[in-house]
Structure 1
Amino acid sequence: MSSISSDTQSPSLTCQQCHQPLLLDPSFQNLTPAQYTLIASSLPSAGPSSGLPSSSKLAQLPPTARPAAEIWSKKRGNPSGSGVAESFIMLDQSQSQSHATSRASYQPTSTYTSSADAGPSAPRQGLSSTELAETLHRLISSKTPISHPICVECITLLQSELQTELDELQKERDAYIAFEQGILRNREVVQGGRSKTAQKEREKHTKGKGKGRAMEEVQGVDEGLGEFDMEGTQEEWDMLIRRKKELAEEEERLIAELKKREGDLEAVREEEEGVRRDEEEVDREEQDFLLNHHALSTQLRHLQQALSSAETHLLLSKSLLQHLESTNVYNDAFQIGYVPLPSRTDSPSLSHVGGSSSGSGYVGTINGLRLGGRPVVDWDEINAAWGLVALCVDRVAARVGFTFAKYKIQALGSNSLISELPPSRQTYELYASPDLSAFLHNRRFSTGLICLLDCIRQLVEFGQKSTRGWPVGNLEIRKDRISGYSIRLPGLGMSMGLSMMGLGGSGSSGDDGGGREAKVRGAELSPDEHWTKACIAVLKVLKQILIAESEAERGNVAAAAPTVEASRAA
């Protein structure tokens, strides 16, 4: 669509079909009153006025328009309303919409009457070409079934539709004409045949009867023939009657078949209703099954998770059990070994213990604390190591259920003690002091070591006599010696004092082959090295005891495992 200028544009100039804005043709823009009158006179006239009475016409008016029509009729002096109904034209939907749009957009400018029998009148003087075009559009819309104005595209489509409708009507008209001509030809043939038959009958009756009576009978025969009897022959009528009977019979048969089918349909509907109820029941059962299945699946998943957790715990427990079975508890509690002892030049502060230097060798350790190795190792470390030795001996004796005769060990770390049982009640220290003023203390320390060694001897004899069978090798414990090495604390002053008291000496009557062997080795080792060797021998005995006890414990666990499994299975 082309744009519309401000002077020619109007709100009502929209296509009544596609509702698009329109631009008037130049011929309409310059429309004259003469052209308007010519076009209006060429329009088809409205249909004849209705023959219905005025009351019926008023009844046909819309309910909202009846009061106004009666008032208008009374003012015109027509109480019956005879002229009221004649003043209205019944419009179709498209025309009413067109007039409604025109009334909403413009003031009435038409100068023609809306009466059904009124013709077009001359336009009012002074109207512009645009107003004439609008008036002409309303006039054309009122006298044709098409609402105006309309665009060129819609006119083309409308023309195509009307042409198609025209072609169909022409074909229908041609079919009716051909049918009418066929009926006329058939009627002429039938009339010709019946005329000949009537002539023969007339001649036959004339011979036997009077002429007047014969003519009356023939006329009666002719009068008995209806107009539609000439539409076909007797054979055709018989065929049609038979066909009618056949169709009636077929109709009865089809009605019966329909009733039967309706009965079957009712049965099928009942069956369908039953199937629907069964389906609902199956759906409910399926829903219940799915809910139960979901609940069981959830429970099964939880049980599987619990089973997996239990299997994991079992695997961890087996791994822990295997680790514990392979663990030497005593070795973990008391780790006994040895380390090399470096050489060290004696300092003046160590001159009181005698000996110039300590040669390189090994020293025993318990839990990392060196036992022996004087003068390289300090007394604090040695005292702590003797405290662990005392604790180890006391705990092993308690574990195997052995009670020492004459002695009681008090494991107090670096200040451990060993006491004689009544009636003596003497207590000896298991720790020494490097101070020269503690000479008597160190003598008690040596006595305490001899008592501890005696406790170890009693424990070994108990293990060898019992079913434990502790193997201690060729280690021999006799009085203050172990494997030929004296456990007494070395030192010049202490050795002299012990010799004067008759508690030691290499030439004592109690010395055996081990003592002689120690005398031979004594020519090669210093006193501190002798004491260190004795300490190493003590640790060896404890190590063998711990290994034997660990193997015994492991054997007891292995023997008890089948019993535990059997009890669990039961």
Structure 2
Amino acid sequence: MQSMRDERLRIEADLERLELEMAELEYDEMSVWASIDDCMWALAAQREHRDMEIARVATMEQRARAIRRMNVASDAFYIWHKGPFGTINGFSMGRLLAQHTDWHEINAAWGEATLLLQHIAETLGVAFHRYRLVPLGNASKVIRLQRPEMEYHLHGSDQDAFPESFFNLGIAAWLDCLGHLEAWVLERDSSFRLPYKITATHVGNFSLLFLRDDEAWTKASKNALTNLKWLLAWSAKPLATPAATS
């Protein structure tokens, strides 16, 4: 009997020892899992920080590309003013009786403005479907794509001061392309507003057609260049990525 009691006491002691060991193991396991959780949280925090840094670097690179693009385009197409005249790359657009501007200079300005309009459209991936701009310096033109296909001028002379001259038809086509570009931008950025409203013949309150009202034509030309400058600035924004459009 004594041996049985001794055996039972030994077994109970073993069980108590095993229970203590089990409790220690469970505690160790909990500590391990707590450590794993801490590591996972730390890893997640590191990944989040890494992702934030990657995004920040990507944003900075995007902005840097936009700034470089803007600087290059602004250098290539410098729009400013000279008294009452808007200028592009030093060429005045418009004419006044008191301040004579040679047609060679006016036509050169139209050539630069046409090249800039095409450049902005190509940068944004915009396709003009009614007209095709053909920048050729002071002999630039625009092609009507609707049949019958017609070629209009973006260079003028004193003989073009009537509504249906090829120069005025070319100006109206150029304005159509400018309005198309504005509409494309508005679809993607509802906050965008050009400083001067574009219609079929006007920029702001003045007609861009050459109709012997030199003062109105000069003001409209200056307004048109200002609108171009705003579109150029928008095209350099990070969100202004090339895309196909209808």
- TM-score normalised by the chain length of structure 1: 0.29
Tell me if structure 1 keeps the 8 A contact 2:161–2:210. Answer: no
Max radius of gyration: which structure? Answer: 1
Which structure has the highest strand share of the two? Answer: 2
Runs of 4+ in 1 over 4 A off after TM superposition: 324-327, 438-442
For the aligned residue pairs, the C-alpha RMSD in angstroms reads 2.9
User: In the alignment, which residue of structure 2 is the partner of 1:530?
Assistant: 216
AA aligned to 1:379 is W
Aligned residues of 2:168 and 2:209 also touching (Cα < 8 A)? yes
For residues 86-97 of structure 1, the aligned pairs below 5 Å read: none
Match for 1:489 among 206, 210, 214?
210
Q: 2:95 aligns with which of 364, 370, 373?
A: 373
Question: How many residues align structurally?
Answer: 177
Contact 1:428–1:444 under 8 Å retained in 2: yes
**Which of 463, 466, 478 is the aligned partner of 2:199?**
478
Corresponding position of 1:338:
81
Q: Which amino acid aligns with 2:182?
A: V
Identify the residue that residue 235 of structure 2 maps to in structure 1.
549
Q: Report if aligned partners of 2:163, 2:209 keep a CA contact under 8 Å in 1.
A: no
The residue that corresponds to 1:464 in the other structure is: 186
| Partner Cα separation in structure 1 for residue 115 and residue 192 of structure 2 | 19
How big is each residue's C-alpha offset from its partner over 1:262-304, in whole Å with a ceiling of 9 and x where there is no partner?
A: xxxxxxxxxxxxxxxxxxxxxxxxxxxxxxxxxxxxxxxxxxx
* Percentage of pairs with the same residue: 29
8 Å contact from structure 2 (residues 95, 214) kept in 1: yes
* C-alpha contact (below 8 Å) 2:94/2:221 kept by paired residues: yes
Mapped to 1, the partners of 2:194 and 2:162 lie a distance apart of 34
Aligned amino acid, residue 101 of structure 2: V
Partner of 1:454: 176
Select the residue among 389, 394, 397 that pairs with 2:113: 389
Q: In 2, are the aligned partners of 1:429 and 1:445 still within 8 Å (CA)? A: yes
**SS of match in other structure, 1:370:** strand
Shift of 1:476: 1.1
Q: CA-to-partner distance for each residue in 1:143-165, whole Å, 9 max, x for gaps? A: xxxxxxxxxxxxxxxxxxxxxxx
Q: Distance in 2 between matches of 1:430 and 1:549?
A: 24
Q: How has the CA–CA distance of structure 1 residues 332 and 529 changed in structure 2, closer, same or farther, with 3 Å as cutoff?
A: same
Matches within 5 A, 1:78-117: none
Q: Distance in 1 between matches of 2:185 and 2:193?
A: 9
- Tell me, in whole angstroms, the C-alpha distance in 2 between the residues paired with 1:427 and 1:530: 26
Question: Counterparts of 2:90 and 2:157 in 1: how far apart (Å)?
Answer: 21
Q: 1:425 aligns with which of 134, 149, 161?
A: 149
Question: In structure 1, how many angstroms separate the alpha carbons of the residues matched to 2:193 and 2:218?
Answer: 23
Gaps of 5+ in 1: 1-320, 341-361, 492-526, 557-570
Give SS of 1:534's match.
helix
Shift in CA distance, 423/398, structure 1 to aligned 2, threshold 3 Å: same
**How far apart are residue 385 of structure 1 and its match?**
0.2
**How far is the alpha carbon of 1:327 from its aligned partner?**
5.8
1:443 equivalent to 2:186? Answer: no
Cα pair 2:163 2:169 within 8 Å, conserved: no
Which structure 2 residues correspond to residues 36-51 of structure 1 after superposition, within 5 A?
Answer: none
Give the Cα separation in 2 of the matches to 1:468 and 1:414. 35
1:469/1:421 CA distance change after superposition, 3 Å:
farther
What is the TM-score with the length of structure 2 in the denominator? 0.65
1:271-282 to 2 correspondence within 5 Å? none
Measured after TM superposition, the shift of residue 433 of structure 1 is 2.1
Distance 1:441 1:387, change over 3 A: farther
Q: 1:549 to 1:423 in 2, by over 3 A?
A: same
Residue 419 of structure 1: SS of its match in structure 2?
A: strand
Give the partner amino acid of 1:381: E
State the structure with bigger RCO (CA 8 A, min sep 6), 1 or 2: 2
Deviations, residues 180-239 of structure 1 (Å, cap 9, x unaligned)? xxxxxxxxxxxxxxxxxxxxxxxxxxxxxxxxxxxxxxxxxxxxxxxxxxxxxxxxxxxx
Q: Deviations over 1:503-556 (max 9, x none)?
A: xxxxxxxxxxxxxxxxxxxxxxxx211000100110111011111222337x98
Query: Equivalent residue for 1:328?
Result: 71
- 1:540 partner amino acid: T
